[in-house]
Amino acid sequence: MPIVQRLALALLLSIFSPTASAQLTIAISVTGVDKTLENNIRLFLSLEQQQKHPLMSEGRLRRLHKKARLEISRALQPFGYYRPVIKTELTETTDNHWQASYSVDPGPPLLIGEFDFAVSKSMEEDPEFRRLIDKLPLYKGSIFNHLDYENIKTDLARLAAERGYVDARFTEHRVVVDLESYEARIVLHYEGGPRYRFGTVQLEQDVLEPQLLQRYIPFTQGSPYHYDALIDLQQALNDSNYFQAVEVSPGEPENGTAEIPVTVALTPRKPHRYGLGLGYGTDTGARTSFNWEMPLINDRGHRFNSEAKLSEIGYSLSATYRVPVLNPRTDQIIYNIGQVNEKTDVSDSTVRTIGTNLNRNRGPWRESLFINYQVEEFVVGSDRGESTLLMPGVNWTRSWGNDIITSFDGIRFDIGLRGAREDFLSDVSFVQLHGGVKAINRLGQRNRLITRGRIATTWTKDFQQLPSSVRFFAGGAQSVRGFSYQSLGPKDNTGEVIGGNHLMVGSIEFEHSLNHKWAAAMFYDVGNAMDSFADKLERGAGLGIRWRSPVGPVRLDLATAMSRDDRPWRLHISIGPDL
């Protein structure tokens, strides 16, 4: 057999022989340093990266182990440790099982002996740069950290780009590590040049009249450039729902000026949008809905929407016409007309409504001023009749938190007032005040505590003349669980629930995340509708499961009516945003 073939055969036998194929297992321990340093050491260790290599052998293991001391030293240097004391040990605990141990004393940290930092005067006077400078992680006498140094450079360049310092550059940037004196000397000089300003805004569209579109722009020509303002503009135009696509692009500075032009390219939505929905809730039973929307009726931004809903307890028909006013991003007048029929275990009513709302922002509050004219035919217990009401009112709402769909920390508060006068297109006089709060607090990494409460009261001299739509009832998935929808409230002489003048409901819920989509919950609810706040409160409690859908948690709750002698159980299903 030729020598080349014999060598090839020997190589194959060595690869596939039982002895050669036995895989080494290696345990690596790093002690004497904190977790941050340990993680970086393991990233530098060749042995850590190759411990599961299919061709790992004792020879390779020993070669990699010999490199560890130098690799550990290099891993410590970015954090300012240049004089470590490192002890290494490699032992075979059992056949093909090895232990590599590294005891690390990082030694004294390298301190900054000189920190020569300077930015241009325009940046010093810029409040955003001032905040960045005031929080610099490095200074004379601090431990030198290479990562912090690079982050300072990155943050300066990023902020300069965001705030229109187009010509910004580092005139000097260097680090000298002097191991003899054991100190670092840093020079970091950043010249910003002039801060550019917003130039002309070119609107490429034939959708809205320019005067209306200009009211969406959060800056004026000549104001200081800020990239966040462009993001704000794009978000506002996307949220307007007038456009299929929005592109906001800064251009090159205009010749001879320090102004940056902006181009806004807008693609309109289709003139009609249709939607079909199917669902189920224990308060409503099976339900379906259909809506038709015209996102843009004219160049003044008017829009139209209509919706039909059908469920096991009734139906509703509605149409709204919206007109942007004042700040079109937040303010609008809404004209509405509709009819709602609802038949529950305790009432049957048909309400026809026509009205108008002015919705606008007042600082952090959302305000809704409204006046509605409604005609209602109702049956509640032994009370029945037809009511006519002209009801003006106001609602205020405020939310705290970054995500209203699925929130781990947030609060929502609302308060409202409405009423009617018997001598002003109404057949009964009353005033109602209501308010509610819902708070969500994170407990650890996987838990939430959810609390909510609602209180309402009515002032009237003739409660029996009030239609069911302005009486208070309790019970259901959003009220006191364990009781059916609107089944709680004062009763008449025949034992039928007729609703109350007042409402008080509270709830506390503990939720534990099982993973990023599912959670389990336990809850306790208390409340009732009543004629006096001293009346008895009903109690419900139970367990639930949550699925975090894109439109808000889907809640499946099994609750018992604790305040009832027979303690019946009821299943509740609901869906909607947290806040």
Tell me the CATH architecture of domain 3-105. Answer: Roll (3.10)
Whether 436 shows a pLDDT value over 80: the answer reads yes
> What is the C-alpha end-to-end distance of the chain, expressed in Å?
82
Q: What is the pLDDT of residues 173-188, one digit of tens each?
A: 999 999 999 999 999 9
Whether 10 shows a pLDDT value over 70: the answer reads no
Report pLDDT for 21. 45
Instruction: Give the percent of the chain with pLDDT over 70.
Output: 96
Whether 46 shows a pLDDT value over 50: the answer reads yes
What is 197-268's CATH topology?
Ubiquitin-like (UB roll) (3.10.20)
What is 273-575's CATH topology?
Porin (2.40.160)
Q: Which residue has the higher pLDDT, 8 or 175?
A: 175
Whether 509 shows a pLDDT value over 50: the answer reads yes
Report pLDDT for 18. 42
Whether 15 shows a pLDDT value over 50: the answer reads no
Q: Which residue has the higher pLDDT, 34 or 2?
A: 34
Q: How far is CA 168 from CA 122, 150, 174, 230, 495, in A?
A: 11, 17, 17, 20, 79
Q: Binning pLDDT at 50, 70 and 90, where does residue 267 land?
A: very high
Q: List the chain domain ranges.
A: 3-105, 111-191, 197-268, 273-575
Whether 256 shows a pLDDT value over 90: the answer reads no
Q: Binning pLDDT at 50, 70 and 90, where does residue 281 land?
A: confident
Q: What is the pLDDT of residues 120-167, one digit of tens each?
A: 999 999 999 999 999 999 999 999 999 999 999 999 999 999 999 999
Q: Binning pLDDT at 50, 70 and 90, where does residue 20 land?
A: very low
Whether 12 shows a pLDDT value over 70: the answer reads no
Q: Are 210 and 236 in contact (CB under 8 A)?
A: no
Whether 254 shows a pLDDT value over 80: the answer reads no
Whether 566 shows a pLDDT value over 70: the answer reads yes
- Mean pLDDT score across all residues of the chain: 91
The mean-pLDDT minimum among 213-222, 253-262, 500-509 falls in 253-262
DSSP 248-289: EEE-PPPTTSSEEEEEEEEEEPPS-EEEEEEEEETTTEEEEE
Lookup: tokens for 313: 């307890």
The pLDDT of 538-567, averaged and rounded, is: 92
Q: What is the pLDDT of residues 523-549, one digit of tens each?
A: 999 999 999 999 999 999 999 999 998
Whether 77 shows a pLDDT value over 60: the answer reads yes
Strands, DSSP E only, in 295-382? 303-311, 314-324, 332-343, 347-362, 365-380
Report pLDDT for 54. 85
Which residues touch 555 (CB under 8 Å, ≥6 apart)? 477, 521, 544, 545, 546, 572, 573, 574, 575
CATH class of the domain whose range is 111-191: alpha beta
Do the domains 273-575 and 3-105 match in fold? no
Question: Identity (one letter) of the amino acid at 222?
Answer: G
